């Protein structure tokens, strides 16, 4: 059973790693796009609405992918005043309980309520109100769903990891 959990942990870790890769690529593209927009606007006097909107699309990808990736490396917001007083075993319990009772339910709730929002945008063919803007307004809206699917995935991975570590700790004491 522990071997299965470890294999599942590794799979979920790769999935979260994919989120980090996608987010980092979106950031690189966004930086290049912003630089190009700035150069064309101030050096050539040209501007493009679609390019500015593409920056927003890339920002949504970067932000939503980054949440799960930050969770993976424990770079998210935490109340350290409380958690710094816990022993390593206490931190494992805190991480397990937080993953199962806070992060996972919140992620599932956000997915549940944001899916119809993105779906409606896609069905209606929502596009930019600007004539030269981008179509597919559903892409940044659907990134909320995709991002929190990755958060749910990372929450399950953390719960498995901390549960496995706790089992190994208590099995070693018996």
Q: What's the confidence (pLDDT) of residue 105?
A: 98
Q: What's the confidence (pLDDT) of residue 171?
A: 85
Residue 79 has pLDDT above 70, yes or no: no
pLDDT, tens only, 25-38: 999 999 999 999 99
Residues 6 or more apart in contact with residue 77 via CB below 8 angstroms: none
Residue 81 has pLDDT above 80, yes or no: no
Q: What's the confidence (pLDDT) of residue 99?
A: 95
Residue 163 has pLDDT above 90, yes or no: yes
**Which residue in 16, 31, 105 sits closest to 66, CA to CA?**
16
Angle between helices 138-173 and 104-124 (to 10 degrees): 160
Contact 47, 130 (CB under 8 A): no
Residue 113: give the domain boundaries: 2-173
pLDDT, tens only, 97-136: 999 999 999 999 999 999 999 999 999 999 988 888 898 8
> What integer is the mean pLDDT of 123-152?
92
* Domains contained in the chain, number: 1
pLDDT, tens only, 17-76: 999 999 999 999 999 999 999 999 898 888 888 999 999 999 999 999 999 999 998 877
Largest CA distance in the chain: 74
Q: What's the confidence (pLDDT) of residue 174?
A: 58
Torsion from C-alpha of 125, 57, 68, 106, nearest 10 degrees: -50
CA angle 63, 123, 117 (to 5 degrees): 45
3-state secondary structure of 70: helix
**pLDDT band at 96, cuts 50/70/90?**
very high
Q: What's the confidence (pLDDT) of residue 132?
A: 85
Q: What's the confidence (pLDDT) of residue 144?
A: 96
**C-alpha separations of 116 from 61, 123, 142 in Å:** 19, 10, 9
Q: What's the confidence (pLDDT) of residue 75?
A: 76
């Amino acid at each position: 059973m522990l071997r299965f959990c470890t294999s599942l942990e590794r799979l979920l870790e790769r999935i979260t790693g994919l989120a980090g890769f996608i987010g980092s690529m979106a950031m690189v593209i966004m930086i290049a796009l912003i630089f190009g927009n700035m150069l064309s606007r101030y050096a050539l006097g040209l501007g493009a609405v679609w390019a500015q909107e593409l920056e927003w699309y890339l920002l949504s990808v970067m932000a939503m992918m980054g949440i799960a990736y930050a969770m993976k490396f424990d770079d998210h917001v935490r109340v350290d005043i409380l958690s710094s007083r816990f022993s390593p075993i206490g931190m494992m319990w805190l991480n397990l309980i937080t993953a199962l009772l806070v992060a996972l339910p919140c992620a599932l709730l956000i997915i549940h309520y944001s899916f119809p929002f993105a779906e409606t945008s896609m069905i209606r063919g929502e596009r930019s109100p600007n004539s030269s803007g981008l179509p597919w307004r559903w892409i940044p809206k659907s990134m909320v769903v995709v991002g929190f699917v990755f958060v749910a995935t990372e929450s399950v991975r953390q719960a498995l990891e901390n549960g496995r570590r706790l089992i190994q700790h208590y099995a070693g004491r018996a």
